[in-house]
C-alpha cells in the first residue's frame, strides 16, 4: 500500500535550483501550505463557522527582482513559463495557474503598491483538484513573496483579502475566506475555529485521543470554476432573499434560526430549503465539534463528521459516488470514528478520523473497497498540521 510521504526539504531545493539555473541568482524563498477542513464546508461564504488547519503540503515559491519592467513566471510542475509586461494592464489569461499570481499582483497594485520587475519559479506537493487548496496556497505564497520583495510589509488580514480577491476576479471562483485564512494563519498542531463574519478566530490544539487524520483521495478532479460552486453560493443568496421578506434584518444565513427558516419554507423551492437547512445545521456542527475538540472527544467529533458528509451529499448535493462510497465504507469500520468529504466537493478527498490501533487495517480495507468499486487506486495521504505562509 503506497502512503505518499512528503519531503518538503526536497521541494525547496528543487524550486531554488531551478530558479538559479534559469535566472543565475539567489532567490528569496517562500512557502504557503494547503489546508484540510475538519468540519464546516460551504459555511464560509454564508458568513458562518469553519474549522480548518494548514498542512505539511503546499507551494514553494522562489523569486528575485530583475531590474526590468517585465516578470517571468514559471510553473515547475506544469513546465510552463509566461512573461508579464508591467506597463500593461493585468488581466486574466488562458494559463490557469498564472491567473492566481496575476490576480495577486493586481490586488497589490490596486492597494497602491508599485510593482517592479521580478522573476519567479514555483512548485508544489499538493495533488491538484484534491480539495486541499493548492490555489489558495499559490495565492498566499505569491502575496507574501511579492509584497516582501517590493519592500512592503502588509498585514495578514490584507494578504488574506488580496488572495481571496485574486480567486474571485482572476479565477472566477466566488470562494469564501477559509482557504486563504488557513494558508496564512495556520499553526502547527492547531485547528483554527474561525468566525467568517467577524473574522475572530481561536486556535484549538488537535488532540483527539489516540487518533489521526488520514486523507483518501478519489482522484476525481473537481473544477470549482465549472460553476457548480458559484451556483451553490447563488442558491444560498436566493434563500436569504426569500427569508428577508419576513426577516429583513438577516444579512446572511448566519443570522437565520431554524424557526425563521421554517417560517419561510412555504415560499421557497425544496432545493433552496435544503441548501439553507444544510448551512444552518453545518454551522451548529462546527460549534459543537470545536467543543469536542477542546475536550478531546474523538467519537463525538467523528459522529459530527459523518453527519456533515450526509448533509453535503443529500442536502447540499456537492458529493459524488466515489466520495460517498469511501464514507459509507468508513462507517462500517470500527476504528474509523468519522469521515467526510472536504472542501468544495464534486471530487477530491475524504478526511478520516482513525484510531491509531486499527489504522493500517482500516486504510487497507477502504483501499480494497475503492478498488473493487472503481477498478483503480485511491490516493492515501498522511498529513501533519503545520504553520501558515512564511519566508523559508
Tell me, rounded to whole angstroms, the distance of Cα 206 from its chain centroid: 18
Going by C-alpha positions, the residue among 97, 287, 289, 89 that lies closest to residue 208 is: 289
215 lies in the site for ligand GLA, by CB under 6 A: no
**Any catalytic annotation for residue 119?**
no
Output the smallest distance, CB 175 to ligand GLA, in A.
3
178 lies in the site for ligand GLA, by CB under 6 A: yes
82-90, 108-116, 141-149, 175-183 -> range binding ligand GLA (CB under 6 A): 175-183
DSSP state letters, 219-240: -----GGGTHHHHHHHHHHHHH
Catalytic residue among 179, 226, 270, 334: 179
118 lies in the site for ligand GLA, by CB under 6 A: no
Q: Which cell numbers in the block locate residue 36?
A: 484540510
Output the smallest distance, CB 197 to ligand GLA, in A.
14
Going by C-alpha positions, the residue among 128, 17, 129 that lies closest to residue 74 is: 17
Binding pattern to ligand GLA, positions 130-159, x when CB under 6 A?
A: ---x--------------------------
Residues 6 or more apart in contact with residue 354 via CB below 8 angstroms = 211, 212, 213, 214, 335, 336, 337, 362, 363
Q: Which cell numbers in the block locate residue 384?
A: 501533519
179 lies in the site for ligand GLA, by CB under 6 A: yes
Output the smallest distance, CB 358 to ligand GLA, in A.
29
Binding pattern to ligand GLA, positions 228-257, x when CB under 6 A?
A: ------------------------------
Question: End-to-end distance of the chain based on CA atoms, in angstroms?
Answer: 33
DSSP state of 352: E
Output the smallest distance, CB 136 to ligand GLA, in A.
7
Question: Under a CB-based contact definition with an 8 Å cutoff, are residues 105 and 115 in contact?
Answer: yes
80-88, 174-182, 321-329, 383-391 -> range binding ligand GLA (CB under 6 A): 174-182
DSSP state of 4: B
Q: CA 10, CA 328: separation in Å to the nearest integer?
A: 37
184 lies in the site for ligand GLA, by CB under 6 A: no
Helices 270-295 and 228-246, interaxial angle, to 10°? 100
170 lies in the site for ligand GLA, by CB under 6 A: no
Q: CA 164, CA 175: separation in Å to the nearest integer?
A: 7
11, 23, 31, 45: which one contacts ligand GLA (CB under 6 A)?
45
285 lies in the site for ligand GLA, by CB under 6 A: no
- Just list the catalytic residues: 179
Q: Which residues contribute to the site for ligand GLA (CB under 6 A)?
A: 41-42, 44-45, 133, 175-176, 178-179, 343-344
Amino acid at each position: 500500500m503506497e502512503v505518499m510521504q512528503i519531503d518538503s526539504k526536497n521541494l525547496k531545493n528543487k524550486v531554488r535550483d531551478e530558479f538559479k539555473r534559469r535566472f543565475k541568482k539567489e532567490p528569496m524563498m517562500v512557502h504557503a501550505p494547503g489546508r484540510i477542513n475538519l468540519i464546516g464546508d460551504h459555511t464560509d461564504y454564508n458568513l458562518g463557522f469553519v474549522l480548518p488547519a494548514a498542512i505539511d503540503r503546499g507551494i514553494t515559491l522562489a523569486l528575485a527582482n530583475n531590474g526590468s519592467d517585465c516578470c517571468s513566471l514559471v510553473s515547475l510542475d506544469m513546465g510552463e513559463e509566461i512573461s508579464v509586461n508591467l506597463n500593461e494592464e493585468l488581466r486574466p489569461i488562458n494559463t490557469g495557474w498564472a491567473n492566481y499570481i496575476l490576480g495577486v499582483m493586481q490586488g497589490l497594485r490596486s492597494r497602491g503598491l508599485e510593482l517592479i520587475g521580478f522573476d519567479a519559479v514555483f512548485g508544489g506537493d499538493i495533488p491538484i483538484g484534491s480539495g486541499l487548496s493548492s490555489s489558495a496556497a499559490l495565492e498566499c505564497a505569491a502575496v507574501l513573496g511579492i509584497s516582501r520583495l517590493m519592500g512592503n510589509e502588509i498585514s495578514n488580514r490584507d494578504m488574506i483579502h488580496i488572495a481571496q480577491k485574486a480567486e474571485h476576479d482572476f479565477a472566477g471562483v466566488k470562494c469564501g475566506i477559509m482557504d486563504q485564512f488557513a494558508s496564512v494563519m495556520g499553526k502547527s498542531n492547531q485547528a483554527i475555529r474561525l468566525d467568517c463574519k467577524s473574522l475572530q478566530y481561536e486556535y484549538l490544539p488537535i488532540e483527539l485521543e489516540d487518533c489521526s487524520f488520514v486523507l483518501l483521495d478519489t482522484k476525481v478532479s473537481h473544477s470549482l470554476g465549472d460553476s457548480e460552486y458559484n451556483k451553490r453560493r447563488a442558491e444560498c443568496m436566493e434563500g436569504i432573499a426569500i427569508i428577508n421578506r419576513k426577516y429583513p434584518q438577516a444579512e446572511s444565513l448566519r443570522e437565520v434560526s431554524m424557526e425563521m427558516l421554517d417560517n419561510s419554507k412555504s415560499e421557497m423551492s425544496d432545493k433552496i430549503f435544503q441548501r439553507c437547512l444544510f448551512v444552518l445545521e453545518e454551522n451548529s456542527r462546527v460549534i459543537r465539534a470545536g467543543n469536542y475538540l477542546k475536550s478531546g472527544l474523538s467519537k463525538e467529533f467523528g459522529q459530527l463528521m459523518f453527519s456533515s458528509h450526509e448533509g453535503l451529499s443529500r442536502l447540499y448535493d456537492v458529493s459524488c459516488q466515489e466520495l460517498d462510497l469511501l464514507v459509507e465504507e468508513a462507517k462500517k469500520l470500527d476504528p474509523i470514528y468519522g469521515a467526510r468529504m472536504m472542501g468544495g466537493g464534486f471530487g477530491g478527498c475524504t478526511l478520516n478520523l482513525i484510531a491509531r490501533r486499527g489504522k493500517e487495517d482500516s486504510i487497507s480495507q477502504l483501499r480494497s473497497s475503492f478498488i473493487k468499486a472503481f477498478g483503480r487506486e485511491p490516493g492515501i495521504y498522511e498529513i501533519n498540521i503545520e504553520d501558515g505562509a512564511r519566508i523559508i
